[in-house]
Amino acid sequence: MQVIATLGHALGFSMAAGVNVYATVAILGLSSRLGWVELPSQFALFDSNVVIAGALLLYVVEFVADKIPWVDSVWDAVHTLIRPLGGAVIAVTALGEDTPMTGGLTALVAILGGSVAAGAHLTKASTRAAANTSPEPVSNWVLSLAEDGFVVALGILTVTYPVAAFAVASVLVLLMLLFLGTISRAAWRWLGRRTQAAARA
């Protein structure tokens, strides 16, 4: 069960980081600092005034940027490397202290966490790019607020019930694998139409 809980921490936080890495780090830091739950000792590194304050500040910036059409896509593009890297770091942190048993798993877990975060990021970015074809901003606001709620809910679930988070994250990974291709193709088709329109103009 401990292995599943560890994987739950790794997958849950990595997926949340792929959508909003700053909110995920803030949830980890605040959970540890305020004693909401007893987090594994390895997550204590997030319990820092600098880390918590920086994460909250950047979350506020992302909260605003994510509500503005096209600005959200630029912000996502900037975070194409940041979110997967954050997911990989958090996943490795979930392993705890480096021992002969976990040492060989570090690279594998880093790849797993980074891949899950990258999948969540690409799903988010593709969906938002498709939503930007709509002339009204309401769809962006609804999607952004839904993403914020998802990250908070998944983060809290992962902190308190990592085994349940493992099950939820596993299902979401399967869904991403099923639908990411469809979303990505739609985004590429839209980008192609925009490029052709710009060339004709």
- Give yes or no for a contact between 7 and 166, defined as CB atoms under 8 angstroms apart: yes
CA atoms within 13 A on the CB side of 76: 26
- Give yes or no for a contact between 150 and 91, defined as CB atoms under 8 angstroms apart: no
pLDDT in tens, 99-157: 454 556 788 888 999 999 999 998 898 888 877 777 677 778 888 999 999 999 999 99
Predicted pLDDT at 201: 55
Predicted pLDDT at 125: 86
Predicted pLDDT at 103: 55
pLDDT in tens, 3-40: 888 889 999 999 999 999 999 999 999 988 887 777 77
Predicted pLDDT at 43: 84
Predicted pLDDT at 198: 54
* Average model confidence (pLDDT) across the chain: 85
More confident residue, 184 or 85: 85
Q: Does position 190 have pLDDT exceeding 70, yes or no?
A: no
* 38 Cβ neighbours under 8 A, 6+ residues apart: none
Average pLDDT of 173-200?
67
- Whole-angstrom distance, CA of residue 107 vs CA of residue 131: 36
Predicted pLDDT at 152: 95
Predicted pLDDT at 57: 97
> What residue ranges do the domains of the chain occupy?
2-200
